[in-house]
């Protein structure tokens, strides 16, 4: 316990020393924003990857049940979810100008948070819809897949809108 306290004291002293360096505080905040942006993107991509795993299981179930006709639609859905998840995961996580505190206004930051919130919500809805596919009636499967593809189109447009907002505003 005493060792933990000493380590915490040393961290506090070290952080005070770093904050004395001109420009370090702003740099530290920008890095924290970049890291938070990356974590959010990873979280959203992971949610879509879990949905992808459920689609993999559905492909196995359809194959075992002999429903070969549905495999191409489900395969397209699988590829689309992979593409959108990769687009989110591997997008640049925080441009220097985007993360700079002195160049981003409150309204701009609020707009970006809105995009982030919408990305998270739409990805969660897609993941929920994918989870329901396995229980779907085979006759309704094609329509359910079409609906998910439309939601993926909307998610893709949202990603592009956020990217456009960043490049135009900053």
119 and 155 Cβ atoms separated by less than 8 Å: yes
Average pLDDT, the chain: 81
pLDDT per position as a tens digit, 24-67 = 566 666 677 777 878 888 999 999 999 999 999 999 999 998 98
17 pLDDT higher than 70: no
Helix, strand, coil fractions of the chain, as percent rounded to 5: 85, 0, 15
pTM score of the predicted model? 0.76
Res. 92 pLDDT band, cuts 50 70 90? low
144 and 54 Cβ atoms separated by less than 8 Å: no
Nearest to 155 by CA among 132, 127, 134: 127
Tokens in use for 132?
């329901």
């Amino acid at each position: 316990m005493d060792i933990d306290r000493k380590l915490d004291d040393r961290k506090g002293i070290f952080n005070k020393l770093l904050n004395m360096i001109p420009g370090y505080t702003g740099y530290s905040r920008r890095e924290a924003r970049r890291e938070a942006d990356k974590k959010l993107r990873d979280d959203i991509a992971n949610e879509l990857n879990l949905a992808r795993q459920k689609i993999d299981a559905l492909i196995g179930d359809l194959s075992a049940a002999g429903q070969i006709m549905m495999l191409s639609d489900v395969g397209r859905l699988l590829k689309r979810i992979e593409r959108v998840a990769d687009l989110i995961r591997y997008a640049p996580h925080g441009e220097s100008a985007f993360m700079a505190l002195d160049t981003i206004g409150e309204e701009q930051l609020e707009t970006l948070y809105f995009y982030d919130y919408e990305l998270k919500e739409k990805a969660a809805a897609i993941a929920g819809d994918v989870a329901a596919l396995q229980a779907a009636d085979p006759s309704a499967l094609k329509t359910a897949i079409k609906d998910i593809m439309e939601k993926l189109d909307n998610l893709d447009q949202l990603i592009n809108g956020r990217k456009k907002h960043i490049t135009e505003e900053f």
